[in-house]
Every structure is written in C-alpha cells, then in structure tokens.
C-alpha cells in the first residue's frame, strides 16, 4: 500500500495595495523556502474602498481586516496577511494570529520632494497625515505645524504631496522603505518622542483556529520571528487594555534588552498635544502581556482614561 501525500497550496489572503502585496509576497517567499506551495488571493477591504473619510470616522474596528477574516472563515483563504498595526487589538474567538514576521525599523519619517526641507521646532509647515497619534504628537513637539488629511495608499499620498496639498508627508519608515521611497526621507523622528503605534513595522499572519494543526505549525515555523512576537504580545496587550483601535492617540513600543528582558515604552497624548503621558516598564519575556496590561492600567490611572473619555465625547 502506498501512502498518498496531498500537497496543499496555501492561499494567502491580502489587500491589493502595493504595500500589502509586498507583504504577501514576503510571506509567500518564506513559505516557498520552507517547501510549501502558495497562491496569493487579493481581497478588497472597507479601508481600501472608503477613501474620503478619516479612519476615526469610518469606525476603526477591523476596517482593513474584516473582509480577510470572512475569507478565513469561508475557507477561500488559509492565512491572511496584515500590517500588524492594522490588526484590531482583540481578534474574533475562532481566529488567531499565528505569526509575526521580523520587524522593520519602527520609527516615523517625513518625506518631501525638496531635499533641503528641514523640520525645526518652530516650523510653520503643513504636514500630510491622517493618524490621530501623529497629529497629536506633532501638536506637542512641533506646535506651529498644521496637518492635512492624507488617507489612501502610499502612492495616493505621494500624489497629494506632488500636487502640493501639503509641504511634507509623515509616514512609517517601514512602508516607505518597503515601497522604495526612502530617497525622499528628509527627517526621521526619534521613538522616544514619536513612539510608534502598537505593531508598527511588523507583518501579522492570521488563520482560523481550526486550520490543520500540522499546517499551522509549518506556517508558524516558516514565518514567525520569536523576538518580534514577544514584543508584539506586550504592545497588543497594552492596546487591548487601553480599549482603543488605530484611531486613538496611544503609542507603544516594546524591545528586548541586552539581558533578554522585554522593555515597553508607551502612553497616550491628548488631541491638542497638551497632555502627554508616557511610562516605561521592563519584565521577563514570560510576562510580556502582563507588563503591557500594567503599562496601560498605569497610563489610564494617570489621566489616560480621561483623555479617552474626552476624545469619545468630542467624536459623538
Ligand atoms: N494605517 C496604515 C498603515 N499600516 C501600516 C503602515 C506602514 C507599515 C507598517 O507599519 O507596517 C501604514 C502606513 C503608515 O503608517 O505610514
């Protein structure tokens, strides 16, 4: 008797933007290196379709992920690839994040077509960004800067910059580097002032909990970067406890120290930049999620809860 081995093709669900496809291709490459067969399936999400509203107005929950999650459930895809930053802090019970890929540099940058563009503390310039966190942090650290909405994929935003809808564009370095626009970078923000959003710079891979366990293990072995994973657990626990999606001005960055501890810096900034709460905690890796929670609870107790309440009231 011969044993039959069926070779399964892993269907990788992704949004259709160039950055999303870059990420999906990075996943496909790694799976192929592990001798797995792959196919990329493009799925459009609400976040791709509704471009005339800022994210906090669409409703932040799963705008870039929901349609992909439907695909995981109905079996049209086996895994979904997301920018880790875009994944809601609590994912549905029947799904799981099976891997976090090795993180790119996490900081925010400014892009301009003018190589002599300089951002000074008192600069009176218009910067394109639609991120609540970036807008609020700019108010705090660069009080004379004004911001202009810049939703859409990177290419759309660069077109707006070209059309002079703003003087410069603020983005995550990771996406800029992956799209090879790093020649336009004129300023890099240090992460102690502009601490990134939880998950920035990493790619998350989601699957159904009931995906074949052997396949799930192969996917994890091929894609997961354990150091990134533990940092992301801490940051996502922070985000979950803050009860905010990508539309609140919170930030969290976990890193591993030389002795292998997890260190997490995070907090929240009020929309007007007037209140800026930041704390740093360190713990063994086994307590990664616990320090994320502790950081959030500390920030909430220091006035973060009030900042969140004010934001909710302003929006309703
Ligand atoms: N919310 C959009 C988004 N999601 C992930 C990235 C960049 C790449 C990354 O952080 O992985 C971006 C654009 C940006 O913030 O500049």
> Any idea where the domains of the chain sit in the sequence?
1-102+202-224, 108-188, 226-316
Instruction: Return the CATH number of the domain spanning residue range 108-188.
Output: 3.40.190.10
Ligand 1 is surrounded, with C-beta below 6 A, by: 83, 85-86, 171-172, 174-175, 200-201
d(CA 137, CA 139): 5
Instruction: Say what the pLDDT of residue 7 is.
Output: 73
Ligand 1 centre distance from Cα of residue 4 (Å): 43
Ligand 1 centre distance from Cα of residue 175 (Å): 6
Catalytic residue IDs = 86
Ligand 1 centre distance from Cα of residue 17 (Å): 12
d(CA 305, CA 302): 8
Instruction: Report the atom number in ligand 1 closest to the C-alpha of 246.
Output: 1
Question: With a threshold of 0.90, does the pTM exceed it?
Answer: yes
Query: Which residues, in sequence order, are bridge partners of residue 83?
Result: 203
CB 20 within 8 A of CB 14: yes
Instruction: Return the CATH number of the domain spanning residue range 1-102+202-224.
Output: 3.40.190.10
Ligand 1 atom 5, closest CA:
83
Ligand 1 centre distance from Cα of residue 111 (Å): 14
Instruction: Say what the pLDDT of residue 55 is.
Output: 59
CB atoms within 10 A of CB 315: 10
Mutate to test the pocket of ligand 1, among 83, 106, 170 (most ligand atoms within 8 A of CB): 83
d(CA 196, CA 151): 18
Same fold, 1-102+202-224 and 108-188: yes
Per-block mean pLDDT, blocks of 10 residues, the chain (316 long): 68 96 98 97 84 60 86 96 95 97 98 96 96 97 96 92 97 98 98 98 98 97 98 98 82 98 98 97 98 98 96 86
Q: Which residue matches tokens 């920035």? A: 200
Topology annotation, domain 226-316: Double Stranded RNA Binding Domain (3.30.160)
Reference 8, options 207, 223, 224, 219; nearest CA is 219
> In degrees rounded to 5, what are phi and psi of residue 217?
-65, -40
């Amino acid at each position: 008797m011969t044993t039959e081995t069926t070779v399964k093709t892993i269907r990788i669900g992704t949004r259709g933007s160039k950055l999303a496809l870059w990420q999906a291709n990075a996943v496909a490459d790694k799976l192929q290196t592990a001798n797995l067969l792959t196919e990329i399936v493009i799925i459009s999400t609400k976040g791709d379709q509704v471009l005339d509203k800022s994210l906090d107005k669409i409703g932040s929950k799963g705008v870039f992920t929901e349609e992909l999650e439907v695909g995981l459930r109905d079996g049209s895809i086996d895994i979904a690839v997301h920018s880790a930053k875009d994944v809601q802090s609590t994912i549905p019970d029947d799904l799981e994040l099976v891997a976090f890929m090795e993180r790119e540099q996490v900081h925010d940058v400014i892009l301009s077509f003018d190589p002599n563009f300089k951002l000074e503390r008192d600069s009176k310039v218009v910067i394109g960004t639609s991120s609540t966190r970036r807008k609020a942090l700019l108010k705090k650290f660069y009080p004379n800067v004004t911001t202009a909405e810049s939703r859409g994929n990177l290419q759309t935003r660069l077109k707006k910059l070209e059309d002079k809808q703003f003087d410069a564009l603020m983005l995550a370095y990771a996406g800029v580097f992956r799209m090879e626009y790093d020649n336009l970078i004129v300023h890099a923000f240090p992460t102690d002032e502009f601490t990134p959003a939880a998950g920035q710079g990493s790619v998350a891979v989601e699957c159904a909990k009931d995906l074949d366990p052997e396949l799930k293990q192969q996917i994890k072995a091929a894609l997961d970067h354990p150091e990134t994973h533990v940092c992301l657990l801490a940051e996502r626990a922070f985000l979950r406890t803050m009860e905010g999606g990508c539309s609140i001005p919170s930030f969290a960055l976990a890193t591993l120290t030389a002795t292998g501890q997890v260190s997490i810096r995070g907090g929240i900034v009020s929309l007007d930049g007037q209140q800026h709460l930041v704390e740093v905690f360190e713990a063994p890796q086994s307590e990664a999620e616990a320090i994320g929670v502790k950081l959030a609870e500390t920030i909430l107790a220091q006035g973060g809860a009030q900042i969140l309440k004010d934001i909710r009231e302003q929006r309703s």
